[in-house]
Amino acid sequence: MNAPSTHMAVCPHDCPDTCSLQVTVEKGRAVRLGGNPQHPFTRGFLCHKVSRYLERVYHPERLQYPLRRIGPKGAGQFTRITWDDALAGIVARFRSIAQSAEGPQAILPYSYCGTMGKIQSQSLDRRFFHRLGASKLDRTICATAGGVGYRYTIGSRTGMAPEGFAESRLIINWGSNTAVTNSHLWVLMHQARRAGAQIITIDPYRSRTAERSDWHIAPRVGTDAALALGMMHVIFRDQLEDHDYLERYAVGTAPLKTRVLQEYSPNRVSEITGLAAADIERLAKLYATTRPAAIRLNYGVQRHAGGGMAVRTIACLPALVGAWRDYGGGVLLSTSGMFPLDHQRLERPDLSPPGTRTINMSQLAEALAGELSGPPVRALYVYNSNPAVVAPDQAKVLHGLLRDDLFTVVHEQFLTDTCDYADLVLPATTQLEHFDLHTTYGHHWIQVNQPCLAPLAEAQSNTWVFRQLAARLGFEADIFQVSDEQLAREALWEGQANVPAPLQGITLARLQQTGPARLNIPDRYQPFAAGHFGTASGKCELYSERMAADGFDPLPVYSPPAESPDQAPELAARFPLQLLSPPSPHFLNSTFVNIDSLRTAAKYPELEIHPDDAEPRGLQPGQLVEVQNDRGRFRAVAVIAESVRPGVVVAPGIWWNKLSGDGANANATTSSRLADMGGGATFFDCLVEVTAVDEEPGGTAPSETLKTRKVQL
């Protein structure tokens, strides 16, 4: 009866790999977690973060009971209460706000990708807040600018098959630290390299991927579109374009050719990007003459004021050279558009009253300050996110969270920084304790996560909480009192006559019985070898009528960052360094920062700075420094290295504020300014100055810091 048992699960975190997991349970406790060797794409190995997932499940600081605040906001002082008391408190406050003159739109849900599972992140939660009449949340913080730019060009979030990279002969990692953030794709890239492929990485920062590439190209921050336009100039000038492909499957070739030949010579692009004109020539010719040629395009490219246009511009390149013709050629941004789940049925947007406002999550600071249209935000319900740490313009966000008239609920696994500002904290289950359905944005497999452990103490899933709240508010049982499994069936179109072709035959029962299922697409998937783009024209839109109608330049163009020496010289005179805050190899956004083994590996928040910038500031390796601008400041330990361009500093993150040593992280300096498309965040559009601090680097072990939070049990 107590013999060890093996269970299949799915990694829930915001990563394209969406690994299949294998969990060994003995006497009701998970004793081993590893990769599932039977999964055809993830093939049994995990990143070093998720390989420590059991440290998260059994962390001594896991939240086990509902808590009510008993001290000032921000102090993290709580007392234990019952679930009945917690739910009653939420219902009473929501009902009071909904019935007030301000109405239910004064209630704001705030969530993102703390779990990528569709059931725990995009089902009953959406139904509940729609039915309540709460403000809608535009979830823009990661990928919307690039997603919109890509769709203007390609028509959908579809790209080349990840498996095709193994057969590529030229691979460009454009703004992608693939070795760290997409490790299973990196394996395929290495397979291609063993067969003779060249790997190029384009990144202002010499990431681990750049270090392991054949050629690292380091343009100035935010100048990727200019580089792509310079490549187009060379391709057209030297007649290296694929005339036949462009004639058949693209629109706008002539006006694009005219623009790039007139405006984006290698010499001009060299001035913009800081790259040698000869390197621009070499890159363009190599890309145009090597088959198959693949681009792994990632979202760092789009985190500035011109980010949507940058992604749109790069997405034009494969059509110019006919790279889409080849298996192993094209561009990959995301595979998420390949999974046609029934989101209308799952989320029920029809329950939301007409005219309900939408608040951009990247503008949480403004929302909490009452600077947006509509009623002030009186209640904030946070789940699957840690906005006190991850939202831009951090000081303003924290000031808003301190409001006495703001009722804040946080459903979490740990006492995060956001929890410290909550009125009520609810204990959440981990992935091993709840059911979920997973698509992915990095391959073509769909999976189900079956719980293999009982919830720890009184922890509960998102769907459980929303069922309880809906029942107490008298919402319709047939909409809200449905099981997680039934929600998955609805997402998979079960019982419907018009099941989309990629999902036909993929049912919950099949996923539970036989494991991960690949979408119904060809083995050697080539989405645009013969056109069939998802645009209105059915072609790759080098010139986009839709963009013109939406107020954008219909042709690719270089649109610079808002905060750069060229665009903001007066600001740059005070804050001359451009800050990047890419993912740390040890954390995933703010997840895992409190795991002792991973935080020990990271040691301290670090700031990488070029010797040419460190020397005039009198900085020494290992010295504590302060990074600041008009929005805020944070501290880090200086790493002086040529891994960054002069004029650029890099702060890998994202550290919890209370575990960072000084109570802030890089988002203390970032702006809530929006990108050109999709309302996207602009984390990498940030000018700062760096000064020495006359103190020794400090830091507190996670367990010590968390134990200073007072919880009465």
Q: Are 417 and 668 in contact (CB under 8 A)?
A: no
- Cα separation, 34 vs 46, in Å, equals 7
Same domain for 511 and 590, yes or no, is no
Write down how long the chain is: 713
Range of the domain at 359: 67-73+92-117+353-518
Whether residue 292 is preceded by a cis peptide bond, meaning omega within 30 degrees of 0, is: yes
Same domain for 23 and 169, yes or no, is no
- Cα separation, 262 vs 276, in Å, equals 19
How many Cβ atoms are within 10 Å of 531's Cβ, its own excluded?
16
- Cα separation, 411 vs 469, in Å, equals 13
Nearest one of 598, 572, 573 to 587, comparing CA atoms? 598
Look over the chain and give the mean of its residue pLDDT values, rounded to a whole number.
Answer: 96
Same domain for 100 and 171, yes or no, is no
- Cα separation, 442 vs 183, in Å, equals 11
Using the predicted structure, report yes or no on whether residue 703 has a pLDDT greater than 50: no
Same domain for 506 and 535, yes or no, is no
Same domain for 487 and 391, yes or no, is yes
| 556 lies in some domain | no
Q: What is the pLDDT of residue 506?
A: 99
Amino acid letter at 637?
Answer: V
Same domain for 584 and 504, yes or no, is no
Q: What is the pLDDT of residue 661?
A: 84
| 308 lies in some domain | yes
Q: What CATH number does the domain containing 369 carry?
A: 3.40.50.740
| 493 lies in some domain | yes
Q: What is the pLDDT of residue 291?
A: 98
pLDDT, one tens digit per residue, over 354-368 is 999 999 999 999 999
Q: How far apart are the first and last CA of the chain?
A: 34
Using the predicted structure, report yes or no on whether residue 707 has a pLDDT greater than 60: no
CA 250 to chain centre: 30
Q: What is the pLDDT of residue 493?
A: 99
Mean pLDDT of 303-309: 98
DSSP states of 412-460: ESS--TTGGG-SEEEEB--GGGS-EEE--SSSSEEEEE---SPPSTT-B
| 712 lies in some domain | no
Nearest one of 138, 306, 126 to 222, comparing CA atoms? 306
Same domain for 270 and 406, yes or no, is no
Q: What is the pLDDT of residue 694?
A: 87
- Cα separation, 20 vs 8, in Å, equals 7
pLDDT, one tens digit per residue, over 386-405 is 999 999 999 999 999 999 99
Same domain for 235 and 375, yes or no, is no
Q: Are 185 and 192 in contact (CB under 8 A)?
A: no
pLDDT, one tens digit per residue, over 598-624 is 999 988 999 999 999 999 999 999 999
Same domain for 282 and 307, yes or no, is yes
Query: Going by C-beta distance under 8 Å and a sequence separation of 6 or more, which residues neighbour residue 478?
Result: none
Whether residue 585 is preceded by a cis peptide bond, meaning omega within 30 degrees of 0, is: no
Percentage with pLDDT > 70 across the chain: 97
Q: What is the pLDDT of residue 56?
A: 97
Using the predicted structure, report yes or no on whether residue 94 has a pLDDT greater than 70: yes
**β 198-202/170-174 pair status:** parallel
Binning pLDDT at 50, 70 and 90, where does residue 704 land? Answer: very low
Mean pLDDT of 38-62: 97
Using the predicted structure, report yes or no on whether residue 555 has a pLDDT greater than 50: yes
Q: Are 632 and 395 in contact (CB under 8 A)?
A: yes
**β 170-174/293-297 pair status:** parallel
Using the predicted structure, report yes or no on whether residue 706 has a pLDDT greater than 50: no
How many Cβ atoms are within 10 Å of 298's Cβ, its own excluded?
24
Q: What is the pLDDT of residue 1?
A: 53
Same domain for 493 and 361, yes or no, is yes
pLDDT, one tens digit per residue, over 172-219 is 999 999 999 999 999 999 999 999 999 999 999 999 999 999 999 999
Using the predicted structure, report yes or no on whether residue 700 has a pLDDT greater than 50: no
**β 407-412/379-383 pair status:** parallel
Number of domains in the chain: 4
Same domain for 481 and 399, yes or no, is yes
- Cα separation, 536 vs 554, in Å, equals 14
- Cα separation, 607 vs 654, in Å, equals 12
Q: What is the pLDDT of residue 696?
A: 73
Same domain for 242 and 283, yes or no, is yes
| 189 lies in some domain | yes
Q: What CATH number does the domain containing 544 carry?
A: 3.40.228.10
The DSSP secondary-structure symbol of 369 reads T
Q: Where are the alpha helices (DSSP H) in 99-143?
A: 118-121, 124-132
Using the predicted structure, report yes or no on whether residue 335 has a pLDDT greater than 80: yes
Q: What is the pLDDT of residue 180?
A: 96
Using the predicted structure, report yes or no on whether residue 256 has a pLDDT greater than 80: yes
Binning pLDDT at 50, 70 and 90, where does residue 653 land? Answer: confident
Percentage with pLDDT > 90 across the chain: 96
Using the predicted structure, report yes or no on whether residue 385 has a pLDDT greater than 50: yes
Binning pLDDT at 50, 70 and 90, where does residue 695 land? Answer: confident
Q: What is the pLDDT of residue 477?
A: 98
